[in-house]
Structure formats: structure tokens, C-alpha cells
Structure 1
């Protein structure tokens, strides 16, 4: 029996993916690491602000309510750092903060796609409510999808990092092997996320069950999306979408 819950989500490309939820233990460790880093950052900023506040009070000794304004600004700075820390990292690091990266977990959208700034902001704004009286922890423990309040509002999940498996139970074209070597040499295939790799793998595994029209449409759509992620202007000459996806599948594992 697994100690972690598994969940299946359907991507916009109608590909079903299975993820392992992060679990309360990993999320707690990640949050402790993040709070230690955030706390150190906050202390540093407030110390600088304290020095500046003393200087400001010396320049305006007779200004009424100056202390109240300085205190209000310090509270705003604390809130901005608190929310900005999580928003910045989860947006730039594809759903990860330093703590999440340390524990190898990641925030994704309910449809399996990477989170954006909107989801990261919603999660950060609701986080203080989740921290009050351990509301977030209780919701993670008691709900099937292990979501805190911020996850429900933002439409997100916290899952374990999925590392790709090297073995495949489907056939690949002979041409894909040499093309994969070219991709490794000329493209930064590592920019693809494990979730992107999983979508490609799921398609290659299930393409034989699709009718020709659905298969062609889906393979072309996936190939174009992967091409855009790799920042390639166009696919190599006389290459089918399937062959390109097979080559990317092999190249990702080799790079």
C-alpha cells in the first residue's frame, strides 16, 4: 500500500496523467524551509528599514504621526515580502519555492498544467488564513485531494516531482534514435518539465488506440506545443509530428 495518495488529471490535450500528491509531511518540511528563508529575508529588510526610519525621524522631528506612518509602512513591507516570496518563486520556478525544490514537490493546476502568476497570487493571499489555527493543515489531512484553502480557491494541486522512466512499452521509429542525438546536440531539451515529458509519453503509449484523424490532430498539436517550448522556428524538413515527438522523448532522457 502506498503511503501517498495518487490522483489522475486530464490535460487540455485530453491526455490522462497520474500524479502522486505531496503529502502533509513533505509540505510541512517545505513550508519550514521557506519560512526560515523568508524570516531571514524579512529580518534583513526590517533592520534596513529601522535604520532608515531613525534617519527620517531626525529629518522630520516635528512632524505629527510620523511614527504611525513608519509603522504602517513596515507592516506593508512585511506583507509584501510574505506574499511576494511565494508568488515570485512559484511563478518563476514553475510551481516551486526553495522549500518545495528541497523536498521535490511542485504546485500544478488542476488540469496538470504549470501554475501561472494568477494561481500563485491567490495561493499567497489566502496563505495567512490557512496558517490561522492550522486550518490549511486540517484541510490537507481531511480532504481527498489534500488541498488547503488556497489550493481550492486557486484551482491547484501540490504533487511530488515526477521523474521520467527510461523504459518504454511502445515501439519507436528507427529514425528517432539518430534524430534524438541531433536534438541533444542542438536544443536545450531540459527546458521541458517532467509534466511535459509525461504528456508526450502518454500520447506515444496510447496513440495506437486512436483513430487516424484523432491521432494526426493530437500529434500535430503536441508537436507544435513542444516546438514552441524548445523555441524552434520550425520542425526539421520532412519530419512527421510523431517522429518529432519520439525523438524528443528519447532526447529528454539522454540530456
Structure 2
């Protein structure tokens, strides 16, 4: 088992001793995910504004003005306060931006973030958005300067909302940017069979899937380091026929075993 840390990795908490890790996402990729989310929010705001305009057509001018202003304020409140929470809740820790960039919100122990953790991290988002640039009327543009500074200073790139909720944003599978990785689990028909020696916790398969999804984006030396760090753990859980595979081959076969319904 190798010593030393891999990037800013966090050890995955499993029911047995393990060196499996999750990799926190850096601020730059998170910025692009945030940018995508704000583009989506902008178009959502445009749609709601058009709905308000068309809904006010049957009304007289004065009533229509008040109605449009009311719906405008409601749209701002819903989009800025509900978009991130609802997305992360319904998409299991992802927003459209995070999904495109291959990111996901998890608990620090590697488990799925629950609704309360997602609620807490997003209730503090207005603070992470500070300071704001003044815009037209009640519309202000968030700079996320505080979140940027915090994510650089705090370990594992966590902003204030993450600190309060006990969450972290990690690298995950990106179905839109990494389509070629869908073939990563293909194993030759001649490969040896693999068997589980005990009930396997789903978080282990999830960790294996994350490794398979990300392995094409990291160097061979780093892949060998990650795979080698958990090789002994996996040998206690799985058995196979034929010659021993390399650490990376073992992870690939476990992933294939899972995809085949093992």
C-alpha cells in the first residue's frame, strides 16, 4: 500500500478498512459549471418573463404593470433561491452545469448528500455570492468572490455552504463531455471470471465507477498510484480464476462484473 496523498483526495469511508478515495474538484472547473448554470438560469428567467407578459395581455395597462412587476420579483426569488437546491436534490447532487462538467456534491464521507445538507449549503449561497455588482432596479450580479477566496484557502476547495453542510464537490462521470468513456468497462471475452467473497457495499461500486469514468483524464502513473493504493483491500473482497490481474485491471474487471449484474 502506498504512502502519501493523491492530489487533495479524501478517503472514502467504507464498512471495512480501505484506502479508496474521492477527488475534490478544483475551483476552475467549478467556475465553468457555475457559468453554465447561470446561463440556464438566465434563459429560465427569460421564459418566466415572457409568461408574465403574455399573462398580462388581457389586463388593463395599470393592472398589467403591477402584475408583471409581481411575477418578475417572484421569478427572481424562485430562480436565485430554488434553482441550485432543487437541481441538486432532484439530480442527486448535480445541477445541469455540474452534470456537463462531471461534478457532484457528496458528503465528506463519500455518501450521497441528503436533502438537509443540500438545503443548508444552498441557504448560504447568497453569502458565497458576495459582493454583488449593482444592476438595473432589483437585479444584482453576484461575483462569487467570497466563494472563490474560501475555496482556495479552505482544504478540499470547500465554500462556506460546504463547510456548514459537511459537503464537498467531487469529480464524477460526465455523460456529455466524456461519451467515449462508456466503453471503458468492456473486457475481452477471454478475461478470467471474478467473484465477490462477501456482500459488497454499493459505495464501493460507486467508487470503482468514478475511477473508470475519470481514468482517461489522468496520467498512467497516477492511475497506477490510485489503483495500487486499494489493491490489497479489493483482493480481500473479490476472488478470480486465472493469473492475478494488475491493480488497474482488477478495478476494470470489478466494474465489468458490476455492469453485468454481479
Contact 2:208 2:255 in 1 (8 A): no
Q: Is the 8 A contact 1:7 1:19 kept in 2?
A: yes
- In 2, the alpha carbon distance for the partners of 1:14 and 1:198 equals 19
Considering fraction of residues, name the structure with more helix: 1
**Residue matched to 1:194:** 206
What corresponds to 1:252 in structure 2? Answer: 258
Q: 1:120 deviation in Å?
A: 2.2
Given that 2:53 and 2:68 are in contact with CA atoms closer than 8 Å, whether structure 1 keeps it comes out as no
- Equivalent of residue 162 in structure 2, options 147, 151, 168: 151
Task: Check the 8 A contact 2:21/2:207 in 1, yes or no.
Answer: no
- Asked if structure 1 preserves the Cα contact closer than 8 Å seen for 2:8 and 2:24, the reply is yes
Q: Does 1:105 align with 2:103?
A: yes
Partners of 2:194 and 2:22 in 1: how far apart?
31
Closer/same/farther in 2, CA of residues 121 and 32 from structure 1, 3 Å limit: same
SS at match of 2:21: strand
The structural deviation recorded for 1:112 is 0.7
Task: List structure 1 runs of 4+ shifted beyond 6 angstroms.
Answer: 162-166, 201-204
- Residues 129 and 29 (structure 1), Cα distance of their counterparts in 2 relative to 1, 3 Å cut: same
Task: Pick the aligned partner of 1:38 from 32, 37, 41.
Answer: 41
* Distance in structure 1 (CA, Å) of the matches to 2:97 and 2:77: 19
Within the candidate set 59, 73, 76, 2:74 is matched to 76
Which structure has the higher relative contact order (CA within 8 Å, separation 6+)? Answer: 2
- Scaled by the length of structure 2, what TM-score is found? 0.59
Query: In 1, distance between residues paired with 2:116 and 2:68?
Result: 30
List aligned pairs for 1:33-72, cutoff 5 A.
33-57=36-60, 67=66, 71-72=69-70
Q: Counterpart of 1:10?
A: 13
TM-score, with structure 1 as normaliser? 0.60
1:28 maps to which of 5, 27, 31: 31
Partner-residue secondary structure (3-state), 1:22: coil
- 5+ residue gaps, structure 1, are 167-172, 178-191, 210-214, 220-246
2:20 counterpart SS class:
strand
**Offset of residue 98 of structure 1:** 1.4
How many residues matched?
196
